[in-house]
Structure 1
Amino acid sequence: MSELRRRAWLCREGWYYLGVLAFIVGGAVLRGVNLLVVLAGMLIAPLLLNWRLVMASLRGLEYRRRAPSRVAAGIPVSIDIEVANHRRYLSSRLLLIEDSIIAKRPLPGERPVRPSAMLAEVPPLQVSTGSYRITIPRRGRYILGPLRLSTRFPLGLVKSTMSIDMPHELLVTPHLGRLLPQWQQVLLTASHGDQERHPQQGTSEGDYYGLRPWQSGDSRRWIHWRTTAKVGVLTVRQFERRRSQDVAIVLDPYLPANPTLDDLARLELAISLVATMVADLALRGHARLLLSLASSKPQTFVGSSSQLTAGEVHDALAELAPSENPPLAEAIAELSKSDSTIRGALLVISTRDYDSTSTNIALQQPLHTGIDRARWICISDPQLKNWFTLD
C-alpha cells in the first residue's frame, strides 16, 4: 500500500466565501475603512482554520479493505473499509471513502464504477469501519482500487483528498440462473446412463428395497417394528438408489469477429446455463460430471459432481474467452481421452445454430469416443425458456 500526496483546494462554497472576502478587502482598500480591514482579517481566519484541519484529519490514518476474492455475478456483495486513527488527540470526521472497480478486460467504452462509503467519525486511537454494497452484473476478473479519501469538515470551504494505491483482485463467476423441472426431462431423454439398482446402507434414503438386520449407524427411523416383533431381532428397512449417471457437457463459446450486443448477450447466457447446470448437479450429487470448454485452450473437467468441482468450473468460466473458431472437435476429443468409459449422451451448449460444416464435423466425433449420441442445444432456441431462466 503506497500513499500518494495529500491535496487541498477550495470547494464551490469556498469560492463563494472567497468572493465575498475579496469584495470586503476591495472595499477596505478603496474606501480606507479600517473596520472593513478588521472584518476581512476575521473572515480569513475560518478559511485558514478549515484548510489546517482538513489536512491534519488525513494524517496518521491506516487503511484496510476487507473484500472477498470471489463472488457471483448479479449477487450483491458487501465490501468493508477499515480506518484506524493512530493520533492521540484529533478525530477525523466526515470521511468520504471512494473506491474504484474496473474489469481487467473492459468492454469498449466501459468506465470504472466508483462506490463510496461515509465515516461519521474516527476517534483517536480507535478503528471505524465503513462499507458499501455493489452488484457486478458481468463475469470476469476485476481490479479494486485505488482508494480515495476526502473530508471537508468542519466548515465545508476547503476539501482535502488523499489517494491510496491498494489494489485487490476480485473474480466474478457467471450469473447463476434456475433450472425448471423440465430440465430433468431433458436429462432423461438425452442420457443413457446405467439404470441398475444397488442396495444402499448409508445415511441417506432412497427407494424401499427390502429388510435386513440392524447395523451400527442405522437410523432409528428405518426400524421395521412389525418384523422386529415377529422375529425377535431388530430389523431395519433397506433402501436402494440408481447408479450415478454420466452428464457430459461441451460449451461452444462462439462469437463472431464483430459481435453485436445480442451476440454478447447470447454468449453470457450460454456460459450462465453451463454454470447453472454444474451447480445443480453438485447440489443433487450422485452424478459424474464430464465437461469440456472449447476455448482457445480446451479445458476438461472429469469427476464427481461436488461443490469443489463446481467451484473450479465456475472459476474457469469466469475468465473464459470466446472465439471466432472454437476448437469444438478438439474439446470433444479431450473429453473422451480423459475418460474412455463415458456412457450416455453429450450435451453441446452453443451460441450458434447447428447448421455449419464445422459443427457437423465436430459432432461426428462422439461416434468414435463411446458416447451414445450428441444433442445440440442452441442458446437462441425458444424451447430453452421452458427449462432454464435467469432470475
Structure 2
Amino acid sequence: IIVLFTGAMLTKQNTLLLVFALMAGPFVINGWMTFGMLQAARVRRKVPVRAMQGELFSVEITLRNSRPWFALWMMTVTDEIVHETETLSASVLFSRVSSRTTQSGQYQLRLSGRGRYVLGPIRAASRFPLGLVERSRVFATTSEILIYPRIGRVSQSWRQRLGGATELNSRKSPNLGLFQDDFNQLREFRSGDNPRAIHWRSTARRGQLILREFHQNREHTLAIIVDLFGESFHTVMTREQVDFALSFVASLLIERGRECRDGYLSLTAVGESRFDWEGQGTSSSLESLFDGLALFQPGPATEAVEVVRTKLQQLPTTTQILIVTTRKAGLPYQNLLTSRVELLNLNDVREDDLLTFEDYRPATRSPRSVEV
C-alpha cells in the first residue's frame, strides 16, 4: 500500500491512486467502525466480596451500548485477576448488543491462592466487521475479592484426641448437680424420674413433688495458638503448608462451635503480625475470623513465647490449649508445655490424617486463563 501511494504521488496517475484507495479503504472503515463501537461501550463488573479457596464462583460482566442507532458486534471483554502469586485472565464474548440496551455475561473462577485478589482493569476489544484491524479500550475499573482458607472435615482420630485431652483437665467448678451437669429448671415429678433429683424445699413449699431437671454440659473451652514461623513466603511448599494450617484451625473452630454451643473459643496467630479472635459457639462472628485468616502471613513470630505464657496464666485450668506450629526444630516455648497444652507440628504429621476436603483441590498454582 505504501508503494502504491508513493508511486501515485510521484507519477500523478489516478489508476494507482484508485488501487491504493481500494486497498487502504477496508482498513480505514474497519478501524473507524471499531473505534465508534468502543466509544459507545460501557462496561461494569459485579463480583462477590468474599469466596473460599477451591470454590467455584461467577463474576458478572455487563456491557451497555449507549449508541442510539447502531449495535455493538463481536466485542470481547477481558478481565485481569492479579494476586501476589499468580496472574489470571478471563474473557467474555458479546456477539451483539442492540442500541440503548444492556447485556450481561459471566465467567467462572476457582482460585487456589489465599488472600486478596484485585480484578481489573477491563479491556474491551473488537475486530468487527472485516477482522483487519483490532482496536481496544481500557476501563480503569477495579474490584477486590477476599479468598478465605478452605474448610474441611477434621479427622475422627484428632477430634477424639483433642476431646480426650480436654476431659483430662482438672476442673475446679463446684458440683451443683448430678454428673457435673448444669441446672436447667424445676418441674413436676413424673413416673420413672430419679428420686434423687427431687428438690425438697420446693416440694414442701408447693405441696407436691418437684424435680430438679439438668441438661448435659459438655461445653469444653478451647484456645488455639498458631505459630506460623517462616522466613520466606515465596516458595510453593511454604504457601501450601501455611494455607493448610489456617484451614485446619478454621475447620476445628467451626466444628467445635457446632458441638459446644456455649463453649468459649479463642484464636491467637503470630507470624508477620498478630491476630486475635474470640467467640462463643455458634453465636460467634465467623466473618471477622475468616477475614483475619485470609490476610494473615507467616513471619518471624517473635511473640510466640509471650503468647503461650500469657495464655497459660490468664486462661482457667479447664481450657484446653492447642498450639499449631510450622517450625521444623527448636521450639522457643518448649519449657512452657504442660499437660493442658496439645502441640501439633505440621512437619511431623500427614495432612490427610488431620483434615479431609470433599471439594475440588487444584494440584498446581500455574497461571490459567478462563474464557466463557
Q: What residue is the counterpart of 2:255 in the other structure?
A: 280
* 1:248-259 equivalences in 2 (<5 Å): 248-256=223-231
The alpha-carbon deviation at position 64 of structure 1 amounts to: 1.5
C-alpha deviation, 1:282, in angstroms: 3.9
Query: Structure 1, residues 155-210: CA drift from partner, whole Å, max 9, x if none?
Result: 11111101111111211111223323223212222213777334779xxxxxxxx9
Determine the structure 1 residue equivalent to 2:326.
351
Deviation at 1:53, TM superposition (A): 0.8
Instruction: Give how far 1:83 is off.
Output: 1.4
Shift of 1:239: 8.8
Letter in 2 for 1:179: V
30-39 vs 151-160, which deviates more?
Answer: 30-39
Q: 1:273, 1:148 → 2: CA distance?
A: 39
Matched, 1:290 2:259: no
Q: Which residue of 1 aligns with 2:347?
A: 380
Equivalent residue number for residue 134 of structure 1 = 109
2: CA distance, partners of 1:71 / 1:148? 24
Listed one character per residue, the Cα deviations across residues 85-124 of structure 1 (whole Å, up to 9, x for unaligned) are 1211111111111111112xx24xx4x2111111112211
For the residues of structure 1 that align with 2:285 and 2:251, how far apart are their CA atoms?
13
Separation (CA, whole Å) in 1 of partners of 2:148 and 2:238: 20
Aligned to 2:289: 313
1:91 aligns with 2:71: yes
Aligned-partner Cα distance in 2 for 1:245–1:308: 15
| Preserved CA contact (<8 Å) 1:190 1:344 | no
Judged with a 3 Å threshold, the aligned counterparts in structure 2 of structure 1 residues 323 and 125 are, in CA distance, closer, same or farther, namely same
1: distance between equivalents of 2:103 and 2:316?
58
* 1:9-20 correspondence to structure 2 within 5 Å: none
5 Å-filtered alignment, 1:322-341, equals 322-333=298-309, 335=311, 340-341=315-316
Residues 125 and 113 from structure 1, CA distance in 2 versus in 1: closer, same or farther, beyond 3 angstroms?
Answer: same
Query: What is the letter of the counterpart of residue 374 of structure 1?
Result: V
**Structure 2 CA distance for partners of 1:200 and 1:45, relative to 1, 3 Å:** farther
> Partners of 1:321 and 1:52 in 2: how far apart?
50
Q: Which runs of 5+ in 2 are unaligned?
A: 172-178, 192-212, 359-372
Q: Comparing both chains, which one has the higher relative contact order based on Cα–Cα distances under 8 Å and sequence gaps of 6 or more?
A: 2
Q: Cα distance 1:258–1:151, how it changes in 2: closer, same or farther (>3 A)?
A: closer
For residues 243 and 280 of structure 1, do their structure 2 counterparts lie closer, same or farther at Cα, with a shift above 3 Å needed? closer
Note if contact 2:324-2:345 (Cα within 8 Å) is conserved in structure 1: yes
User: Once the 2 structures are TM-superposed, how far is the Cα of residue 293 of structure 1 from its aligned partner?
Assistant: 1.0
Partner of 2:181: 197
Report if the CA contact (8 A) 2:181-2:214 is conserved. no
Q: Is the 8 A contact 1:246 1:342 kept in 2?
A: no
| SS state at 1:382 partner | coil
Write the deviation string for residues 195-253 of structure 1: whole angstroms up to 9, x where unpaired: 7334779xxxxxxxx9879xxxxxxxxxxxxxxxxxxxxxxxx9943331112211110
Alignment counterpart, residue 169 of structure 1, candidates 132, 136, 144? 144
Alignment deviations for residues 341-362 of structure 1 (CA, whole Å, 9 cap, x no partner):
4623211111124x5251314x
Residue correspondence of structure 1 range 203-242 to structure 2 within 5 A: 240-242=215-217
Distance 1:324 1:259, change over 3 A: farther
**AA at the equivalent of 1:102:** V
| CA spacing shift, 1:334–1:312, aligned 2, 3 Å | farther
Shift of 1:135: 1.4
Q: Which residue of 2 aligns with 1:182?
A: 157
Amino acid at match of 1:148: R
Deviation at 1:375, TM superposition (A): 0.9
Cα distance change, pair 124–357 in 1 and its aligned pair in 2 (3 A) = closer
Contact 2:220–2:260 (8 Å) recurs in 1? no
Further displaced range: 312-321 or 181-190: 181-190
What is the letter of the counterpart of residue 248 of structure 1? A
**Contact (CA 8 Å) 1:252, 1:326: kept in 2 or not?**
no
Per-residue CA shift, 1:7-38, capped at 9, x if unaligned?
A: xxxxxxxxxxxxxx568779999999976764
- The one-letter code matched in structure 1 to 2:137 is M
**SS of the residue 2:88 aligns to:** coil
Alignment counterpart, residue 334 of structure 2, candidates 339, 349, 360: 360
Query: What CA distance in whole angstroms lies between the structure 1 residues aligned with 2:189 and 2:304?
Result: 50
- Distance in 2 (CA, whole Å) between partners of 1:288 and 1:323 is 28
Moved more, 249-258 or 94-103: 249-258
> Does the 8 Å contact 2:119/2:143 carry over to 1?
yes
Tell me if the contact between 1:137 and 1:175 (Cα under 8 Å) persists in the aligned partners: no
Match of 2:38 in 1: 58
Instruction: Point out the more displaced range, 316-325 or 153-162.
Output: 316-325
Per the alignment, residue 151 of structure 1 pairs with 126
TM-score normalized by the length of structure 2: 0.76
Post-superposition CA distance 1:124-181 (Å, at most 9, x none): 1111112111111111112111111111111111111011111112111112233232
> C-alpha root-mean-square deviation of aligned residues, in Å?
3.3
Residues 246 and 343, structure 1, Cα contact 8 Å, conserved in 2: yes
TM-score (norm 1): 0.72
